[in-house]
Amino acid sequence: MPAIVAENLCRTYRVYQKREGLMASVTGLFHRTYKTVNAVRNVSFEIDEGEMVAFLGPNGAGKTTTLKLLSGLIYPSSGSAHVLGYVPWRRENAFRRRFSLVMGQKNQLWWDLPAQESFQLHREIYRIPPADFDRRKNELIDLLEVRKLIAQPVRELSLGERMRMELIAALLHSPEVLLLDEPTIGLDVVSQRRVQEFLKYYQAQQKITVILTSHYMKDVEALCKRAIIINDGQIKHDGPLAEIVERFSQHKVINLQFAVTETPTGLERFGNVLELNPPRAKIEVERTKVPEVLGALLSQYRIEDVGVQDRPLEEVIAEMFAATEDDSKSDGDPIDAEATAQRL
């Protein structure tokens, strides 16, 4: 049985539409106008035990709302879900001891206390045997290299140090499912890499099921082989990460190394010139025209080296999000569902 199953999950909100002006405010006391916001619409997917899946989408796509549904923080408007065989929003104690939710923009540690005090509180909440608690805590502290920081008040830690403490707190009770919502948001490059390396190692060792949302494609490429893309509350792609470029990008990039004596001109007739720094150049070309363009280039210029590669994953996904957003605006229904959900 899959660790996580979502079937036609929907979550809608009624949002009061307040108009400007004193008279409009008075009128609103008696006659209110509401707008229906579809935060999540008919979302369905399955995630197997031990799988690490990227859950991608622009701001307002419905990522955080979906994670809140799977963790039982909010109820769905319709549809169903099972996590480890439990219905999340029933909030059974047996279920709550088997998963963790880490949100990059929310704190679960006491701000004015050292992290080690919050760890002790987690031990009491989850009723972790003292011997198991000490073993897990020491293992996690060493893996994340924070032993010198656990006695320091959380408010004095850097953002990267706090995130590492948050991960320790989330994993002390050995959850079987880990939901990560933007765990590296705002972190510097070094902190991002430390978190990536830890998650990759820990997931491989413990075989836990992980859903990761992130706007940093380096996180996704380093950790996940499968990606679910959600936009406007609906699933747009569910499959191998490698298929995203193949499915959504219509272009490839040709890297050219010209002979030193060659002066490349007129390259724009072959495609979109991304870079021209003689003797090197990069040209973006339609996938179907790559053989034809390569033949023409080799016959007209003296070229010492040539390479063809896909466009970066980050660019392809950003372009796809932008295109979907433009479609939504043209339909007259611009919705920032996730942001609205956060406010309610």
Residues 10 and 93 in one domain: yes
Task: Assess whether 12 and 80 both reside in one domain.
Answer: yes
Residue after which a domain boundary falls, among 201, 222, 245: 245
Within-domain flag for 132: no
Residues 292 and 238 occupy one common structural domain: no
Q: Within a domain: residue 25?
A: yes
Residues 179 and 306 grouped into a single domain: no
Strands 177-181 and 209-213: parallel
Instruction: Tell me, yes or no, whether 86 and 180 share the same domain.
Output: yes
Average pLDDT of span 332-336: 40
Give the span between the Cα atoms of 108 and 100, in whole angstroms. Answer: 11
Read off the pLDDT of each residue in 105-122 and give the average, rounded to a whole number.
Answer: 89
Domain count, the chain: 2
Buried/exposed 234-261: b ≥16 CB within 10 Å, e otherwise:
bbbbeeebeebbeebbebbbbebebeee
Reported as a pLDDT band with limits 50, 70 and 90, residue 52 is: very high
Residue at 183 is within a domain: yes
| 234 and 254 co-located in one domain | no
Q: Mean of the pLDDT values across residues 24-45?
A: 83
Query: Mean pLDDT in the chain?
Result: 87
Question: pLDDT per residue over 202-260, tens digit each?
Answer: 999 999 999 999 888 888 888 999 999 998 888 988 999 888 877 777 888 999 999 88
**Which of 245, 274, 293 is the C-terminal boundary of a domain?**
245
pLDDT of residue 207: 94
What is the token pair recorded at 130?
């003292």
Q: Residue 187: what are its φ and ψ, rounded to 5°?
A: -80, 150
| Whether the predicted pLDDT of 314 surpasses 80 | no
CA–CA separation, 37 vs 62, rounded Å?
11
Residue 301 lies in a domain: yes
Q: Note the pLDDT of residue 332.
A: 44
What pLDDT sits at residue 313?
79
- Domain closes at, from 201, 228, 245: 245
d(CA 344, CA 340): 7
Can you give the pLDDT at residue 327?
55
> For residue 340, is pLDDT > 70?
no
Enumerate the H helices of 83-216 as residue ranges.
93-96, 115-126, 130-143, 159-171, 189-206
What is the arithmetic mean of pLDDT over 157-168?
Answer: 92
Residue 334, in any domain of the structure: no
Q: What is the pLDDT of residue 8?
A: 95
Structural tokens at position 94? 């047996």
Residue 299 lies in a domain: yes
Q: Is residue 92 located within the same domain as residue 179?
A: yes
Q: Which domain does 29 fall in, by range?
A: 4-98+175-245
- Helix/strand/coil for 33: coil
Which pLDDT score is estimated for 143?
93
Q: Are 226 and 198 within one domain?
A: yes
Question: Are residues 256 and 269 located together in one domain of the fold?
Answer: yes
What is the band of 335 on the pLDDT scale with cuts at 50, 70, 90? very low
Residue 194, in any domain of the structure = yes
**Is the model's pLDDT at 106 over the cut of 90?**
no
Q: Among the listed ranges 47-61, 100-114, 151-165, 314-328, which one has the minimum average pLDDT value? A: 314-328
Q: Find the CATH number of the domain harbouring 181.
A: 3.40.50.300
Residue 185 lies in a domain: yes
